[in-house]
Amino acid sequence: MQVGKQKVVTFDYTLTESQGEVLDQSQGGEFSYLHGSGNIIPGLEQALEGKEAGDELSVTLEPADAYGERDDRLVQNVPKDMFPGEVEVTVGSQFQAQGPDGTPIPLVVTGVGEQEVEVDANHPLAGETLNFEVKIVEVREATEQEVADGQVRA
């Protein structure tokens, strides 16, 4: 069976950045997603289209096909008193804000001053060229519930 819309795809992968450092991996058939539902980055989903169980491939994705380019407008200084008083705010701390439409926006603290905190809403891998080594483990039909939910059920 080929990878295509509304198929559940299980694959093993190793993700490295352009210098070869391993950023993430999943082995042993632990990672599954519903193809065509936007559950993985677009460039990888496109590269897997039409593949079958047992296929192995190397995929290099430029930022536009992965997490996008870095956007300096997403780095902002906000008043320090916007953070809960009982929480220590340090560089690298992660918080979640709400966008105007209520969607969650993950933020990473990139600087801490006396009165202001610099936060970055870019994805940590924005601007990065990503390299995937992939082995397709299984491709199966999605259940009605998985299609309705737009994601795989364990």
pLDDT tens track for 22-59: 999 999 999 999 999 999 999 999 999 999 999 999 99
Q: How many domains does the chain have?
A: 2
Query: How high is the pLDDT of residue 86?
Result: 81
In a domain? residue 16: yes
CATH of the domain at 141: 3.10.50.40
- C-alpha–C-alpha distance, residues 50 and 3, integer Å: 5
In a domain? residue 29: yes
Residues 63 and 136 in one domain: yes
In a domain? residue 2: no
The chain-wide mean pLDDT, for the chain, equals: 93
Mean pLDDT score, 111-135: 94
Residues 85 and 110 in one domain: yes
SS (H, E, C) 34-89: ECCCCCCCHHHHHHHCCCECCCEEEEEECHHHCCCCCCHHHEEEEEHHHCCCCCCC
Residues 21 and 42 in one domain: yes
In a domain? residue 154: no
Mean pLDDT score, 121-128: 92
CB-count burial class (<10 Å; 0-12, 13-18, 19+) for 136: buried
CATH of the domain at 102: 2.40.10.330
Q: Which of 42, 43, 36, 44 minimizes the C-alpha distance to 7?
A: 36
Residues 54 and 28 in one domain: yes
Residues 51 and 28 in one domain: yes
Query: How high is the pLDDT of residue 83?
Result: 83
Interstrand relation of 56-61 and 22-34 (parallel, antiparallel or unpaired): unpaired
pTM of this structure? 0.81
pLDDT tens track for 68-86: 999 999 999 999 888 877 8
- What's the domain range around 12? 7-67+126-149
